[in-house]
Amino acid sequence: MKALAIALFAILAVSAQVNQPPANPLVDQFFAAESVADAEALAPQFESSDPNVLYARLQQGRAYLDEKRGDYSLRWKSKSGPYFNNVVDVPSDYDPAQKWMLRVQLHGGVGRPSPNTQAPGGRGQQGGTNRIAGEKQIYLHPSGWAAAQWWDEEQVDNILRSVDTLKRKYNIDESKIYITGISDGGTGVYYMALKEPNPWSSYLPLNGALAVLRNPENGADGEMHGNNLVNAPLYVVNGENDPLYPVAAVEPTITWMKKMGVNLMFRPQAGAEHNTNWWPTERASYEQFVHDHPRVAYPAALTWETERVDRFNRNRWLIINQLRADQTRATELTDLGFFQHTKRSGRVDIRRKGNQFDSVVRDVAAFSLLLSPEMIDFTRPVIVTVNGKPVFNAVVKRDPVTLMRWAARDNDRTALYEAELKITVP
């Protein structure tokens, strides 16, 4: 009996070795890269690699080590001078062998001067305010101020850099990275949903107002396109007696979003002012919403609109590459007039079923589809239609360089793309 057990153990050990992707020093170097740029620079070196082996290795991910716990700061200098002081809070019993949720929480009062003027090494003052208690998870409290508000490009870069840095150190569950915020932070959550949706599973704006982003005096970078909220699960809380954003003033926006088809839960708080005194009774519902809305890596339908193609032009596997010069907004593809637009923009609404992609396009000259074996069968033709007309019908080749380039940019074990299909709109 003992001999049989030993033999069985040997068979299982051999089987595990067979199923384990082979060691690859270049992949180890890729995982050890400290930034997106460093990782992406390695992508061309994978040109002759086997896509199957690479894909399996990327799904497996890096080996996570025992990292720092408790509160500490991620700090780097802003363009205006002060230091971003992004406070990280890691549970004392963090275990690198399991995946952890990440909450990104934006504080209020973002129009104030920055207190983060000291050189790296100090913890600073910003980032410790407006915290609300939560379940066991990793927390990131980014740092914002008047010259780096939540709706500034540089601030978006700061938040994305912070999230990427944490994903390179900690075993973070990519399907449960969510963003929340209070007051100005709540408004910042709306901005992120409108402009940079790719890392987030859900959006929970508290005591904020989407209408703030309508005001050109707020200095928000770029234009807002309401249909971009359609793919964003929203949990919205406002107080009845809030002197800034009372429920009565917010309700028309909620009605507009629902008319647009936005997936949202609105939680008005009776008698509440501009504070979070309601948190003890609201917390369970809030946290249940987070768990009920893990990020879908490869959604079957996407919509995106943008006025620029150098950034803020991607939603998951859809990228808008070029806008038309001869544009007209005379189309059914609108955001029902909530936001005013002064710049030309383009929009793509697209659905996929198997290898078939059907798109409705307005004022876009070219767009790309990022393709994954989780989405399509690479042995069969990919078929793309634009406004009812066929524009592509062919087998798409898997490309290890493309795989590694997007793996570097996204740093995500659950969203991997082996081809980038560029579509020219007729």
Task: Tell me the average pLDDT across 326-354.
Answer: 77
List the chain domain ranges: 70-292, 301-424
CA–CA distance, 333 with 265 (Å, rounded to integer): 24
In this prediction, what percent of the chain has a pLDDT beyond 70? 89
State the pTM of this model.
Answer: 0.91
Give the model's pLDDT for residue 340.
81
Secondary structure class of 147 (helix, strand, coil): coil
Amino acid at position 168, single letter: R
C-alpha–C-alpha distance, residues 61 and 413, integer Å? 6
Mean pLDDT of 287-294: 98
42 within 8 A of 408, measured Cβ to Cβ: yes
**Which of 3.40.50.970, 3.30.70.2740, 3.10.180.10, 3.40.50.1820 would CATH assign to domain 70-292?**
3.40.50.1820
Q: Say which residues have a Cβ less than 8 Å from residue 204's Cβ, sequence separation at least 6.
A: 178, 179, 180, 181, 189, 234, 235, 236, 237, 286, 289, 290
Beta carbons of 299 and 312 less than 8 angstroms apart? no
Per-residue model confidence as pLDDT tens digits over 223-266: 999 999 999 999 999 999 999 999 999 999 999 999 989 999 99
**Chain-centre distance for alpha carbon 7:** 48
Rg (CA), the chain: 23
Tell me the β-bridge partners of 36: none
Residue 18 pLDDT grade (very low, low, confident, very high; cuts 50, 70, 90) = very low
Work out the angle at residue 137's Cα, subtended by the Cα atoms of residues 202 and 170, and round it to the nearest 5 degrees: 100
* H or E element, residue 285: helix 279-292
pLDDT band at 47 (very low <50, low <70, confident <90, very high): very high
What residue type is assigned to position 180 of the chain? T
pLDDT score of 323 more than 50 = yes
